[in-house]
Amino acid sequence: MNYQEVLSFLFGQLPMYQREGKTAFKKDLGNIEKLCSKLAEPEKQFESIHIAGTNGKGSVAHLLASVFQAAGYKTGLYTSPHLVDFRERVKIDGELIPEIAVTQFVKDNYESFQQIKPSFFEWTVALAFDYFAKEKVDIAIIETGLGGRLDSTNIITPQLSIITNIGLDHTEFLGETKAEIATEKAGIIKKEVPVVIGNSSGQRTLFEKISQSRGTAISFAEDLDLNFTLSSALEGSYQKENLKTAYAAWLQIRKLNWHISFPHLILGFKTVLEKTKLQGRWQVISHNPKIIADTAHNAEGLTHTMKQLKKENKGSLHMVFGVVKEKKLDQILNLLPKTAKYYFCAAEVPRAMNEEKLKETAAKFELKGTVYNSVKAAFNAAKKSAKVDDTIYVGGSTFVVAEIL
Protein backbone atom coordinates (compact mmCIF):
# COMPACT_ATOMS: atom_id res chain seq x y z
CA MET A 1 0.00 0.00 0.00
CA ASN A 2 1.13 3.53 -0.73
CA TYR A 3 0.18 6.51 1.43
CA GLN A 4 -3.07 7.29 -0.41
CA GLU A 5 -4.12 3.65 -0.21
CA VAL A 6 -3.38 3.67 3.51
CA LEU A 7 -5.57 6.76 3.99
CA SER A 8 -8.37 5.14 2.01
CA PHE A 9 -8.09 2.12 4.26
CA LEU A 10 -8.18 4.18 7.44
CA PHE A 11 -11.02 6.45 6.32
CA GLY A 12 -13.09 3.96 4.40
CA GLN A 13 -12.90 0.63 6.19
CA LEU A 14 -12.71 1.61 9.82
CA PRO A 15 -15.35 3.55 11.76
CA MET A 16 -14.41 7.18 12.22
CA TYR A 17 -16.49 9.06 14.80
CA GLN A 18 -15.72 12.53 13.46
CA ARG A 19 -17.19 11.62 10.08
CA GLU A 20 -19.84 9.03 10.89
CA GLY A 21 -21.04 9.73 14.41
CA LYS A 22 -22.14 7.34 17.11
CA THR A 23 -21.85 4.14 15.04
CA ALA A 24 -18.07 4.50 15.41
CA PHE A 25 -18.09 5.07 19.17
CA LYS A 26 -16.71 2.29 21.36
CA LYS A 27 -17.26 2.29 25.11
CA ASP A 28 -14.22 0.45 26.37
CA LEU A 29 -10.41 0.52 26.32
CA GLY A 30 -9.95 -3.14 25.46
CA ASN A 31 -8.91 -2.63 21.85
CA ILE A 32 -6.34 0.08 22.44
CA GLU A 33 -4.84 -1.93 25.30
CA LYS A 34 -4.44 -4.93 22.97
CA LEU A 35 -2.96 -2.79 20.20
CA CYS A 36 -0.40 -1.19 22.49
CA SER A 37 0.46 -4.57 23.96
CA LYS A 38 1.38 -5.76 20.47
CA LEU A 39 3.51 -2.63 20.06
CA ALA A 40 5.46 -3.27 23.29
CA GLU A 41 3.51 -0.64 25.28
CA PRO A 42 4.75 2.58 23.66
CA GLU A 43 2.50 4.68 25.91
CA LYS A 44 4.85 3.85 28.78
CA GLN A 45 7.97 5.00 26.93
CA PHE A 46 7.47 8.79 27.03
CA GLU A 47 6.28 11.42 29.48
CA SER A 48 2.93 13.02 28.78
CA ILE A 49 0.29 15.60 29.67
CA HIS A 50 -3.35 14.61 29.14
CA ILE A 51 -6.06 17.16 28.27
CA ALA A 52 -9.84 16.77 28.22
CA GLY A 53 -12.71 19.26 28.15
CA THR A 54 -15.71 20.37 26.12
CA ASN A 55 -14.04 23.39 24.55
CA GLY A 56 -10.51 24.76 24.45
CA LYS A 57 -8.60 21.50 24.87
CA GLY A 58 -7.05 21.77 21.41
CA SER A 59 -5.94 25.35 21.98
CA VAL A 60 -4.49 24.53 25.42
CA ALA A 61 -2.69 21.51 23.94
CA HIS A 62 -1.09 23.64 21.24
CA LEU A 63 -0.17 26.39 23.70
CA LEU A 64 1.59 23.95 26.02
CA ALA A 65 3.33 22.19 23.14
CA SER A 66 4.65 25.55 21.98
CA VAL A 67 5.88 26.37 25.49
CA PHE A 68 7.79 23.08 25.75
CA GLN A 69 9.27 23.68 22.30
CA ALA A 70 10.32 27.20 23.32
CA ALA A 71 12.20 25.64 26.22
CA GLY A 72 14.04 23.29 23.87
CA TYR A 73 12.22 20.04 24.59
CA LYS A 74 11.40 17.56 21.83
CA THR A 75 7.62 17.72 21.97
CA GLY A 76 5.00 15.37 20.61
CA LEU A 77 1.45 16.61 20.04
CA TYR A 78 -1.60 14.44 19.46
CA THR A 79 -4.90 16.20 18.65
CA SER A 80 -8.11 15.49 16.77
CA PRO A 81 -9.83 15.91 14.45
CA HIS A 82 -7.64 17.12 11.61
CA LEU A 83 -8.75 19.92 9.30
CA VAL A 84 -6.99 19.35 5.99
CA ASP A 85 -4.31 16.68 6.35
CA PHE A 86 -4.66 13.48 8.42
CA ARG A 87 -1.08 13.96 9.60
CA GLU A 88 -2.09 17.09 11.55
CA ARG A 89 -3.15 14.70 14.31
CA VAL A 90 0.42 13.58 15.05
CA LYS A 91 3.26 16.10 15.25
CA ILE A 92 6.70 16.44 16.77
CA ASP A 93 7.99 19.99 17.24
CA GLY A 94 5.24 21.20 14.92
CA GLU A 95 6.22 18.90 12.06
CA LEU A 96 3.60 16.51 10.73
CA ILE A 97 4.32 12.80 10.98
CA PRO A 98 5.92 11.78 7.65
CA GLU A 99 3.75 9.96 5.11
CA ILE A 100 6.21 7.06 5.08
CA ALA A 101 5.81 6.62 8.85
CA VAL A 102 2.03 6.36 8.52
CA THR A 103 2.32 3.95 5.59
CA GLN A 104 4.89 1.72 7.26
CA PHE A 105 2.95 1.57 10.51
CA VAL A 106 -0.19 0.32 8.76
CA LYS A 107 1.79 -2.15 6.63
CA ASP A 108 3.65 -3.55 9.65
CA ASN A 109 0.56 -3.96 11.79
CA TYR A 110 -2.27 -4.62 9.34
CA GLU A 111 -2.50 -8.39 9.83
CA SER A 112 -2.12 -8.50 13.60
CA PHE A 113 -4.42 -5.51 14.14
CA GLN A 114 -7.15 -6.99 11.95
CA GLN A 115 -7.63 -9.71 14.54
CA ILE A 116 -8.63 -6.96 16.97
CA LYS A 117 -10.72 -4.93 14.49
CA PRO A 118 -9.76 -1.48 15.82
CA SER A 119 -11.68 1.69 15.01
CA PHE A 120 -10.17 4.59 13.06
CA PHE A 121 -9.45 6.42 16.31
CA GLU A 122 -7.80 3.39 17.90
CA TRP A 123 -5.55 2.95 14.85
CA THR A 124 -4.58 6.61 15.05
CA VAL A 125 -3.88 6.65 18.80
CA ALA A 126 -1.72 3.54 18.46
CA LEU A 127 0.14 5.17 15.57
CA ALA A 128 0.78 8.33 17.58
CA PHE A 129 2.01 6.51 20.69
CA ASP A 130 4.28 4.24 18.64
CA TYR A 131 5.71 7.22 16.74
CA PHE A 132 6.38 9.26 19.89
CA ALA A 133 8.10 6.29 21.53
CA LYS A 134 10.30 5.51 18.53
CA GLU A 135 11.25 9.18 18.10
CA LYS A 136 12.05 9.44 21.83
CA VAL A 137 10.14 12.65 22.53
CA ASP A 138 10.84 14.37 25.84
CA ILE A 139 7.13 15.00 26.38
CA ALA A 140 3.88 14.40 24.49
CA ILE A 141 0.81 16.58 24.85
CA ILE A 142 -2.19 14.28 24.36
CA GLU A 143 -5.71 15.59 23.70
CA THR A 144 -8.66 13.29 24.28
CA GLY A 145 -10.96 12.65 21.35
CA LEU A 146 -14.30 12.27 23.13
CA GLY A 147 -15.03 12.32 26.85
CA GLY A 148 -12.16 11.00 28.91
CA ARG A 149 -12.84 7.89 30.96
CA LEU A 150 -13.34 5.62 27.96
CA ASP A 151 -11.34 7.60 25.43
CA SER A 152 -8.62 5.56 23.71
CA THR A 153 -5.95 8.01 24.86
CA ASN A 154 -6.77 7.20 28.48
CA ILE A 155 -4.31 4.34 28.78
CA ILE A 156 -1.48 6.77 29.47
CA THR A 157 -0.31 7.73 32.96
CA PRO A 158 0.58 11.38 32.48
CA GLN A 159 2.57 13.69 34.69
CA LEU A 160 -0.31 16.16 34.65
CA SER A 161 -4.00 16.02 33.74
CA ILE A 162 -5.97 19.05 32.55
CA ILE A 163 -9.73 19.54 32.15
CA THR A 164 -10.49 22.81 30.38
CA ASN A 165 -14.24 23.17 31.00
CA ILE A 166 -17.57 21.34 30.88
CA GLY A 167 -20.43 21.97 28.45
CA LEU A 168 -23.43 20.12 27.07
CA ASP A 169 -21.90 18.48 24.02
CA HIS A 170 -21.90 14.83 22.88
CA THR A 171 -24.73 14.22 25.34
CA GLU A 172 -25.71 11.03 23.50
CA PHE A 173 -22.50 9.47 24.84
CA LEU A 174 -21.43 11.41 27.90
CA GLY A 175 -24.69 12.19 29.69
CA GLU A 176 -27.47 14.75 29.63
CA THR A 177 -26.20 16.91 32.51
CA LYS A 178 -22.99 18.76 33.21
CA ALA A 179 -22.42 16.57 36.26
CA GLU A 180 -22.60 13.41 34.16
CA ILE A 181 -20.30 14.88 31.51
CA ALA A 182 -17.86 16.15 34.16
CA THR A 183 -17.71 12.66 35.65
CA GLU A 184 -16.79 11.18 32.27
CA LYS A 185 -14.10 13.79 31.60
CA ALA A 186 -12.77 13.40 35.15
CA GLY A 187 -12.00 9.84 34.13
CA ILE A 188 -8.57 11.07 33.00
CA ILE A 189 -7.68 11.96 36.60
CA LYS A 190 -5.17 9.36 37.73
CA LYS A 191 -4.06 8.33 41.20
CA GLU A 192 -1.59 10.86 42.64
CA VAL A 193 -1.25 12.69 39.29
CA PRO A 194 -1.97 16.42 39.74
CA VAL A 195 -4.90 17.87 37.82
CA VAL A 196 -5.65 21.41 36.67
CA ILE A 197 -9.25 22.50 36.06
CA GLY A 198 -9.60 25.48 33.75
CA ASN A 199 -13.24 26.40 34.34
CA SER A 200 -15.08 24.17 36.81
CA SER A 201 -18.37 25.06 35.07
CA GLY A 202 -20.34 24.64 38.29
CA GLN A 203 -18.81 21.21 38.98
CA ARG A 204 -16.12 22.21 41.46
CA THR A 205 -17.36 19.99 44.29
CA LEU A 206 -17.55 16.99 41.97
CA PHE A 207 -13.97 17.51 40.75
CA GLU A 208 -12.71 17.98 44.31
CA LYS A 209 -14.43 14.81 45.48
CA ILE A 210 -13.02 12.70 42.63
CA SER A 211 -9.52 14.12 43.10
CA GLN A 212 -9.60 13.49 46.84
CA SER A 213 -10.66 9.87 46.28
CA ARG A 214 -7.62 9.35 44.07
CA GLY A 215 -5.11 11.15 46.27
CA THR A 216 -4.65 13.78 43.60
CA ALA A 217 -3.64 17.41 44.07
CA ILE A 218 -6.15 19.66 42.31
CA SER A 219 -5.87 23.32 41.31
CA PHE A 220 -8.31 25.65 39.57
CA ALA A 221 -7.20 28.20 36.99
CA GLU A 222 -10.28 30.26 37.81
CA ASP A 223 -8.83 30.90 41.27
CA LEU A 224 -5.75 32.69 39.90
CA ASP A 225 -5.79 36.45 40.33
CA LEU A 226 -3.22 37.61 37.80
CA ASN A 227 -1.80 41.14 37.99
CA PHE A 228 -0.63 41.00 34.38
CA THR A 229 -2.20 40.25 30.99
CA LEU A 230 -1.53 37.03 29.14
CA SER A 231 -1.49 37.21 25.36
CA SER A 232 -0.71 34.88 22.48
CA ALA A 233 -0.83 34.59 18.71
CA LEU A 234 -4.29 33.03 19.02
CA GLU A 235 -6.90 35.62 18.21
CA GLY A 236 -10.36 35.77 19.73
CA SER A 237 -11.28 37.04 23.19
CA TYR A 238 -12.44 33.56 24.18
CA GLN A 239 -8.78 32.48 24.23
CA LYS A 240 -8.31 34.35 27.52
CA GLU A 241 -9.67 31.38 29.46
CA ASN A 242 -7.44 28.96 27.53
CA LEU A 243 -4.38 31.10 28.22
CA LYS A 244 -5.16 31.17 31.93
CA THR A 245 -5.60 27.39 31.93
CA ALA A 246 -2.27 26.93 30.16
CA TYR A 247 -0.63 29.30 32.64
CA ALA A 248 -2.07 27.33 35.58
CA ALA A 249 -0.73 24.16 33.96
CA TRP A 250 2.72 25.77 33.63
CA LEU A 251 2.74 26.47 37.36
CA GLN A 252 2.26 22.75 38.00
CA ILE A 253 4.74 21.73 35.30
CA ARG A 254 7.40 23.82 37.03
CA LYS A 255 6.84 21.76 40.18
CA LEU A 256 7.54 18.61 38.14
CA ASN A 257 11.12 19.79 37.54
CA TRP A 258 10.79 20.80 33.90
CA HIS A 259 13.12 23.73 33.22
CA ILE A 260 10.62 26.08 31.66
CA SER A 261 10.99 29.73 32.62
CA PHE A 262 8.43 32.52 32.44
CA PRO A 263 10.18 33.90 29.31
CA HIS A 264 9.78 30.44 27.73
CA LEU A 265 6.08 30.57 28.59
CA ILE A 266 5.60 34.00 27.02
CA LEU A 267 7.63 33.06 23.94
CA GLY A 268 5.65 29.84 23.53
CA PHE A 269 2.35 31.70 23.72
CA LYS A 270 3.44 34.32 21.20
CA THR A 271 4.81 31.82 18.68
CA VAL A 272 2.18 29.08 19.03
CA LEU A 273 0.99 29.33 15.43
CA GLU A 274 4.52 29.22 14.09
CA LYS A 275 5.63 26.37 16.35
CA THR A 276 2.57 24.10 16.18
CA LYS A 277 0.83 25.10 12.90
CA LEU A 278 -2.57 25.41 14.59
CA GLN A 279 -5.46 26.34 12.28
CA GLY A 280 -9.15 27.10 12.59
CA ARG A 281 -9.25 29.00 15.88
CA TRP A 282 -10.55 32.48 15.02
CA GLN A 283 -8.31 32.26 11.97
CA VAL A 284 -8.34 35.48 9.97
CA ILE A 285 -7.88 34.30 6.41
CA SER A 286 -7.93 37.70 4.75
CA HIS A 287 -8.99 41.34 5.14
CA ASN A 288 -11.17 43.61 2.97
CA PRO A 289 -13.53 41.85 3.43
CA LYS A 290 -12.46 40.28 6.67
CA ILE A 291 -12.83 36.49 6.52
CA ILE A 292 -12.83 34.60 9.82
CA ALA A 293 -12.87 30.80 10.14
CA ASP A 294 -13.60 29.27 13.53
CA THR A 295 -14.27 25.67 14.54
CA ALA A 296 -16.59 26.44 17.48
CA HIS A 297 -19.47 24.00 17.08
CA ASN A 298 -21.45 23.80 20.30
CA ALA A 299 -23.47 26.23 22.40
CA GLU A 300 -20.67 27.05 24.83
CA GLY A 301 -18.13 27.66 22.09
CA LEU A 302 -20.47 29.65 19.85
CA THR A 303 -21.57 31.84 22.76
CA HIS A 304 -18.01 33.17 23.00
CA THR A 305 -17.39 33.45 19.26
CA MET A 306 -20.63 35.28 18.58
CA LYS A 307 -19.78 37.85 21.26
CA GLN A 308 -16.40 38.32 19.63
CA LEU A 309 -17.96 38.55 16.17
CA LYS A 310 -20.31 41.31 17.32
CA LYS A 311 -17.30 43.36 18.41
CA GLU A 312 -15.34 42.70 15.22
CA ASN A 313 -17.99 43.32 12.59
CA LYS A 314 -18.35 46.85 11.17
CA GLY A 315 -20.13 46.35 7.86
CA SER A 316 -22.62 43.66 6.87
CA LEU A 317 -22.14 40.16 8.24
CA HIS A 318 -22.14 37.08 5.98
CA MET A 319 -22.38 33.67 7.69
CA VAL A 320 -21.26 30.55 5.81
CA PHE A 321 -22.79 27.99 8.14
CA GLY A 322 -23.25 24.24 8.44
CA VAL A 323 -23.64 21.77 11.30
CA VAL A 324 -23.65 18.04 12.00
CA LYS A 325 -26.87 16.09 12.49
CA GLU A 326 -26.71 15.36 16.20
CA LYS A 327 -26.31 18.96 17.34
CA LYS A 328 -29.13 20.50 19.38
CA LEU A 329 -30.04 23.14 16.85
CA ASP A 330 -32.30 25.18 19.11
CA GLN A 331 -29.40 25.93 21.46
CA ILE A 332 -27.08 26.85 18.59
CA LEU A 333 -29.37 28.83 16.30
CA ASN A 334 -30.63 30.94 19.17
CA LEU A 335 -27.10 32.34 19.54
CA LEU A 336 -26.66 33.48 15.94
CA PRO A 337 -27.15 37.09 14.80
CA LYS A 338 -30.51 37.71 13.10
CA THR A 339 -29.17 40.59 11.00
CA ALA A 340 -26.62 38.46 9.14
CA LYS A 341 -27.02 37.04 5.65
CA TYR A 342 -26.75 33.24 5.77
CA TYR A 343 -25.21 30.84 3.29
CA PHE A 344 -26.46 27.43 4.44
CA CYS A 345 -24.39 24.41 3.41
CA ALA A 346 -23.35 20.88 4.34
CA ALA A 347 -19.82 19.53 4.52
CA GLU A 348 -18.95 16.40 2.57
CA VAL A 349 -19.19 13.98 5.51
CA PRO A 350 -21.97 11.53 6.44
CA ARG A 351 -22.65 13.37 9.71
CA ALA A 352 -23.44 16.69 8.02
CA MET A 353 -26.98 18.01 8.39
CA ASN A 354 -28.83 18.56 5.13
CA GLU A 355 -28.61 22.22 4.13
CA GLU A 356 -32.33 22.44 3.32
CA LYS A 357 -33.25 21.15 6.78
CA LEU A 358 -30.81 23.59 8.36
CA LYS A 359 -32.36 26.51 6.50
CA GLU A 360 -35.87 25.40 7.42
CA THR A 361 -35.02 25.19 11.12
CA ALA A 362 -33.04 28.43 11.03
CA ALA A 363 -36.07 30.27 9.68
CA LYS A 364 -37.86 29.59 12.97
CA PHE A 365 -35.17 31.73 14.61
CA GLU A 366 -35.52 34.52 12.03
CA LEU A 367 -32.24 33.58 10.35
CA LYS A 368 -32.55 34.17 6.63
CA GLY A 369 -30.37 33.07 3.76
CA THR A 370 -29.82 30.84 0.76
CA VAL A 371 -29.02 27.14 0.41
CA TYR A 372 -25.90 25.97 -1.45
CA ASN A 373 -25.00 22.46 -2.55
CA SER A 374 -21.45 22.65 -1.21
CA VAL A 375 -19.35 24.57 1.28
CA LYS A 376 -17.19 25.95 -1.49
CA ALA A 377 -20.22 27.20 -3.42
CA ALA A 378 -21.50 28.92 -0.29
CA PHE A 379 -18.10 30.43 0.46
CA ASN A 380 -17.65 31.68 -3.10
CA ALA A 381 -21.12 33.24 -3.04
CA ALA A 382 -20.32 35.02 0.23
CA LYS A 383 -17.06 36.39 -1.17
CA LYS A 384 -18.82 37.58 -4.30
CA SER A 385 -21.56 39.31 -2.31
CA ALA A 386 -19.46 40.87 0.45
CA LYS A 387 -18.19 44.44 0.21
CA VAL A 388 -14.78 45.62 1.35
CA ASP A 389 -15.94 46.63 4.85
CA ASP A 390 -18.01 43.49 5.42
CA THR A 391 -17.16 40.39 7.45
CA ILE A 392 -17.50 36.76 6.37
CA TYR A 393 -17.69 34.18 9.14
CA VAL A 394 -17.22 30.50 8.27
CA GLY A 395 -18.18 27.97 10.92
CA GLY A 396 -20.72 25.83 12.73
CA SER A 397 -18.69 22.69 12.11
CA THR A 398 -15.04 21.68 11.97
CA PHE A 399 -15.75 20.13 8.58
CA VAL A 400 -17.16 23.35 7.12
CA VAL A 401 -13.99 25.19 8.15
CA ALA A 402 -11.79 22.41 6.76
CA GLU A 403 -13.31 22.70 3.30
CA ILE A 404 -12.38 26.37 2.87
CA LEU A 405 -8.79 26.18 4.17
Taking only the tens place, the pLDDT of each residue in 204-241 is 999 999 999 999 999 999 999 999 999 999 988 889 99
Q: What mean pLDDT value characterizes the chain?
A: 92
* Cα–Cα separations (whole angstroms), residue 324 to 10, 170, 328, 350, 366: 21, 11, 10, 9, 20
Residue 302's pLDDT is: 92
CATH of domain 283-402: 3.90.190.20
Residue 19's pLDDT is: 47
Residue 325's pLDDT is: 85
| 3-276 against 283-402: fold identical | no
Amino acid at 14: L
Residue 301's pLDDT is: 86
Q: What is the number of helices (H) and of strands (E) in the chain? A: 17, 14
Fold of 3-276: UDP-N-acetylmuramoyl-L-alanine:D-glutamate ligase (3.40.1190)
Please return the burial class of 100, using the count of CB atoms within 10 Å of its CB with bins 0-12, 13-18 and 19+. Answer: exposed
Percent of the chain scoring above 90 in pLDDT: 79
Alpha-helical runs (H) found in 55-190: 57-70, 99-114, 120-134, 171-174, 178-185
Q: Is the pLDDT of residue 307 over 80?
A: yes
Residue 170's pLDDT is: 53
Residue 174's pLDDT is: 63
Q: Compute the distance between CA of residue 168 and CA of residue 336 in angstroms, rounded to an integer.
A: 18
pTM for the model: 0.91
Instruction: Count CA atoms closer than 13 A to 321's CA, side-chain side.
Output: 31
Give per-residue pLDDT as tens, 152-209.
999 999 999 999 999 865 555 565 688 989 999 999 999 999 999 999 999 999 999 9
Amino acid at 222: E
Residue 175's pLDDT is: 58
**What is the average pLDDT across 288-312?**
90
Sign, CA torsion 251/178/347/317: negative
Angle at CA of residue 158, ends 154 and 160, nearest 5°: 115
Identify the residue with better confidence: 266 or 331: 266
**What is the average pLDDT across 123-150?**
95
Sequence ranges of the domains in the chain:
3-276, 283-402
Please return the burial class of 182, using the count of CB atoms within 10 Å of its CB with bins 0-12, 13-18 and 19+. Answer: buried
**What is the average pLDDT across 113-128?**
92
Output DSSP code: residue 359: H
Pick from 344, 353, 346, 356: which is nearest to 381 by CA? 344
